[in-house]
Amino acid sequence: MEEVIVHSAEATLRYARISARKVKIVADLIRGKDIDEALAIVKYTPKASSEIIEKLLKSAIANAENNHHLAHEKLYVAEIYANQGPTLKRIRPAAKGSAVRIRKRTSHITIVLKERD
């Protein structure tokens, strides 16, 4: 039986202090794109999550080149997804001595890079 070599590398950021819903907006923009194009898109997208995704994308590129010996020119964003992490619950005082719960959401972001044939 032959051993199958999968040409992919990934980077994961867990417990990012940003809502998964906000991350998915930028994630949808770069899914399937070549990495140089994806970096350019992320760099000039005025969203809160684009800075986080840019850093994670650079980490995935470094993993691909250094750990898996993949060619920079052939890489593309095969998968990118943001799942919901645990929610931090905080309390804020409200009118008439009551309290309102504030939900500070977190997310787990994963980027998978693969080589084009």
- Is residue 43 domain-resident? yes
Confidence bin at 116 (pLDDT 50/70/90)? confident
Domain holding 12, by residue range, is: 8-115
| pTM of the predicted protein model | 0.88
Residue 1 falls inside a structural domain: no
pLDDT of 7 > 90? The answer is: no
Q: Tens digits of per-residue pLDDT, 31-45?
A: 999 999 999 999 999
Percent of the chain at pLDDT > 90 equals 89
> The domain spanning residue 105 has which CATH number?
3.90.470.10
Please report, to the nearest 10 degrees, the dihedral formed by the alpha carbons of residues 82, 15, 44, 76 taken in order. Answer: -50
pLDDT class for 4, splitting at 50, 70, 90? low
Q: Is 79 contained in some domain?
A: yes
CA distance 91 to 58: 36
> Mean of the per-residue pLDDT values for the chain?
94
Domain count, the chain: 1
Cα first-last separation, the chain: 23
What gap in Å lies between CA 25 and CA 29, rounded to an integer?
7
In a domain, 3, yes or no: no
Residue 21 included in any domain: yes
Mean pLDDT confidence for 87-113: 97
User: What does the pLDDT read at residue 117?
Assistant: 79
